[in-house]
Chain A
Amino acid sequence: MTLDSKVPSGPLAEKWDSHKFASKLVNPANRRKHTVIIVGTGLAGASAASSLGELGYNVLSFCIQDSPRRAHSIAAQGGINAAKNYQNDGDSIYRLFYDTIKGGDYRAREANVYRLAQVSVNIIDQCVAQGVPFAREYGGQLDNRSFGGAQVSRTFYARGQTGQQLLLGAYQSMQRQVARGQVKQFPNREMLDLVLINGQARGIIVRNLVTGQLERYVADAVCLATGGYGTAYYLSTNAVGSNVTASWRAHKRGALFANPCFTQIHPTCIPVSGEDQSKLTLMSESLRNDGRVWVPKNTGDKRRAADIPESERDYYLERKYPSFGNLVPRDVASRNAKQVCDEGRGVGETGLAVYLDFKDAIQRLGHDVVAARYGNLFEMYEKITGEDPYTVPMRMYPAIHYAMGGLWVDYNLMSNVPGLHVLGEANFSDHGANRLGASALMQGLADGYFVIPYTLAHYIAGTKVEKVTTDHDAFKEAENSVQDRINKVLAVKGTKTPRELHRQLGRLLWDDVGMARNEAGLKKALATIPKLREEFWQNVAVPGDANNLNKNLEYAGRVADYLEFAELLALDALTRTESCGGHFREESQTPEGEAQRDDAHFSHVSAWEFQGVGKTPTLHKEPLVFEEVHPSQRSYK
């Protein structure tokens, strides 16, 4: 199999325009004859559903939540990047492109990233027209802040609820199309299989999570916007319902999975407090704009923060990275936090935390300014920990936050399976090995509002599809295989809960496929995961049946998929012996302990082809070609 990225020729800045012109169109009168399935209603899925509905396609939209408005994009706090240069501080499309490519440690496709930077400006215009209440200056213009490693202020925000406001904007647009009858929405549905006919993605099998019934839906094309796989680690900042199932089942039907080892660990999360914790809460990294990260200079210093004098504090990010200070990219900040904790200088009861201190910011700006900027985050922190961050420094520790890897897609966001398009976090395409802050919202909306309307039209206009109904044998086969798997889970009647097995898998992945990875640990993980998977199928406990609302059955199905997916995650991490971005191989570091890339051997996308559970998948490589930028060792000194 050769992976054709379909990146258009020509100068970088003209690729997208010339590609749009070269793409085929679907006549407005013909669009109503075509049906598109969109799975997921986060920023990518909801924006795609509304845009395609507006154009006149029949859209079928599915989500696992009880309303599309609850998709996990809603939890994004900090902001959305756009190359507007409203602040006159030297930003440009090229600079956003360059920062994103560099931030991703040169493991993303140039053309995709440039397009992302180009359409970023349209996103802000679109959202404002929808009535998204972005923060404003007193003069009435939009406010911006600098965010996560950027030296320009290009981040737009709505308090600490930017994801919520952007998602509600997209959701409302989508509801408008529901009212017009252009979009039919199916909440409480979980996609459990992809249906291929003549090699094309033509439909899905979903389980109605309220009635338990399996349902079949047919379309001309399928778009997955089902998010990332961070919950494989059990504890993550993802919603507890986020999962890998839709992507994984598509992978088992032939879609290649790219760069699964590129996972992002977010540096500022509230530390783990106990065994029964169900998730980790992220504190927006905008906090690092004014908060200062420190630990005691001496190991084992158990004094209260207030009792440790300035001279005995180590503001290690400011010390090691004077030009970026507390604003170094997420991977660098996370690894340094791990390092100081490994040295025994961590704080709090567990010793697995660093301080994020606002004392200086409150002195410099005053309590009110700090409260205006971060008030809701401080409140959230106090609710969870019972400590007041205005008087006691916050405790922070890194946690799994985002998946840069995902299903392989070409420049048109289409996977190697014709008709199967993948949008947002579920694809692998734009963030390389590390995503910059405030870029996830940008990518989700770019894919849904401004890319897929063009590329999907091109696919539909240029592709002949057989006229089929859901009575086709391929639907029967897929539904039967889904039913068999559900029956198999229910038949085990064991004694271990899905949560226990998930927690075990999560701990294993965090220890051996987490912030720092090495050959021995990865091999250990690869040996342990199949045993855990076997234990699941021998001993999982799922009371009740499949014919009604059964949360534990849903969860068990997802855990079963994590247990297959985890092996691919570890294998990809083992195969990539270089360090890059969020993937840190201990064997590959600079003398200063920074990630050491190996461009000679790893300047490629690793796209894996499924060969069966427990069988070694086949690796396909898409070489990364850099025509515009010259990969260099990232330095934030």
Chain B
Amino acid sequence: MKIHLKVWRQAGPTAHGQFVNYTAENVSPHMSFLEMLDVVNEGLIRKGQEAIAFDSDCREGICGTCGFMVSGIPHGPEPHTTVCQLHMRKFKDGDALTLEPWRSKGFPVLRDLIVDRSAFDRIIQAGGYTSVNTGGAQDANAILIGRDTAEAAMDSAACIGCGACVAACKNASAALFTSAKITHLSLLPQGQVERGTRVLNMVERMDMEGFGSCSNEGECEAVCPKGISLRNIATMNREYWKAILSS
């Protein structure tokens, strides 16, 4: 098949960007979306032009490195799928697609489709951990955790930190990302000691990074490749007010 692409090209963080048109020829339905772009890039390189910069690593949908907008939808139209796992069989011959980087004040563009997501690291640094040093842990079975609790914690912990939630949100809110970590740790006995300070510090950091507020649009949940639920945000808000009122 043949796919028409309109791709955001921007040479560097401060450079002026613009859309450029490309055509991907001979696209096989078995290819992943990124493999299709690999082939477009091979063609550009052979012509002595610089390839479209996009990031990816595991190409299995777990590392969270890849991600850009495909015609306005983060990671493209397939639910619960990162763009590296999106296959061309989901498209048809002649489709015209627009590729853009995540757009958010918290995620400055570095080049083409690549953005700087280091704000997510800083949100975790604000409290997304349990403060235990290596070596002093008690036996792993000493604290029982109900299966349902462990499973619920795992549902939240499954976040891959790709940033699609921010990209989908009209406020560019990082609430889904931040709340997933808060929920994961607040569900588990190990996370209780720092439960209050964690939520206060992480929320403060999230605001400082320039992400907007959550207004319950639900766009984040709809595009999340790991199906992280909007309920995490409700939990975060509850945890936040509990912490405020008890502090």
Chain A interface residues toward B at CB < 8 A: 47, 50-51, 54, 65-72, 74-75, 84, 86, 122, 124-131, 133-142, 158-159, 161, 163-165, 168, 171-173, 175-176, 178-179, 185, 187, 210, 239-242, 273-274, 276-279, 281-282, 379-380, 383-384, 386, 449-450, 453, 493, 495, 497, 499-500, 541-544, 548-552
Contacts and interface: CB of A to CB of B under 8 A. Distances in A.
Given A133-B154, A176-B125, A450-B134, A240 B31 contact: no
Contacts of B161: 67, 69-70
Q: How large is the interface on B (under 10, 10 to 19, 20 to 34, 35 or more residues)?
A: 35 or more
B59 A141 contact: no
Contacts of B160: 164
Contacts of A277: 30-31, 35
Contact of B57 (A122, A241, A500): A241
Given A130-B130, A140-B146, A384-B85, 20 more contacts: A54-B133, A65-B65, A69-B121, A69-B124, A74-B63, A126-B134, A130-B132, A138-B147, A163-B62, A164-B160, A187-B121, A239-B58, A240-B57, A242-B57, A279-B60, A380-B85, A543-B48, A543-B49, A543-B50, A548-B11
B39 A281 contact: no
Interface in B57-80: 57-65, 78, 80
Contacts of B51: 543, 551-552
Given A138-B147, A175-B129, A549-B12, A67 B30 contact: no
B126 to A, nearest CB: 7
Given A131-B190, A142-B140, A274 B129 contact: no
Given A129-B130, A131-B185, A497-B42, A72 B137 contact: no
The 7 closest A-B pairs by CB, nearest first: A140-B144, A172-B129, A129-B137, A125-B137, A128-B140, A133-B154, A136-B150
Contacts of A542: 45
A12 B126 CA distance: 44
B57 A380 contact: no
B132 A550 contact: no
Contacts of A141: 141, 144
A133 B185 CA distance: 9
Contact of B125 (A51, A142, A178, A551): A178
A168 B157 contact: yes
B53 interface: yes
A84 B142 CA distance: 13
B46 interface: yes
B57 A276 contact: no
A544 B50 contact: yes
A493 B47 CA distance: 11
A623 to B, nearest CB: 34
A278 B59 contact: yes
B151 to A, nearest CB: 8
Given A51-B134, A548-B12, A74 B58 contact: yes
Nearest to A541: B45
A239 B59 contact: yes
A159 B38 contact: no
B173 interface: no
A126 B190 CA distance: 11
B140 A124 contact: yes
B39 A380 contact: no
Contacts of B154: 133, 158-159, 161, 165
Given A175-B125, A176-B131, A239 B63 contact: yes
Interface stretch (B109-117, B214-222, B231-239): B109-117
Contact of B117 (A67, A130, A161, A168): A67
A179 B198 CA distance: 13
A563 B65 CA distance: 27
A204 B161 CA distance: 29
A67 B111 contact: no
30 contacts: A65-B65, A69-B161, A70-B161, A84-B141, A122-B135, A124-B140, A125-B137, A128-B143, A129-B190, A130-B129, A131-B129, A131-B190, A133-B153, A136-B147, A163-B62, A165-B157, A175-B124, A175-B128, A178-B125, A185-B121, A276-B28, A278-B35, A380-B61, A384-B87, A493-B48, A499-B42, A542-B45, A543-B48, A543-B51, A551-B51
B213 interface: no
Which of B118, B130, B188 has most chain A Cβ within 10 Å? B130
Contacts of A122: 135, 137
A240 B57 CA distance: 5
A164 B60 CA distance: 12
B45 A552 contact: yes
Contact of B42 (A67, A279, A500): A500
A274 B31 contact: yes
B130 to A, nearest CB: 5
A130 B190 CA distance: 7
A127 B143 CA distance: 13
A146 to B, nearest CB: 19
B129 to A, nearest CB: 4
Contacts of B131: 176
B81 interface: yes
B120 interface: yes
Nearest to A68: B121
A542 B61 CA distance: 28
Nearest to B139: A125
B65 A541 contact: no
Contact of B134 (A66, A161, A172, A453): A453
Given A133-B150, A140-B145, A50 B65 contact: no
B229 interface: no
Contacts of A136: 145-147, 150-151
Nearest to A496: B46
B209 interface: no
A75 B38 contact: no
A377 to B, nearest CB: 11
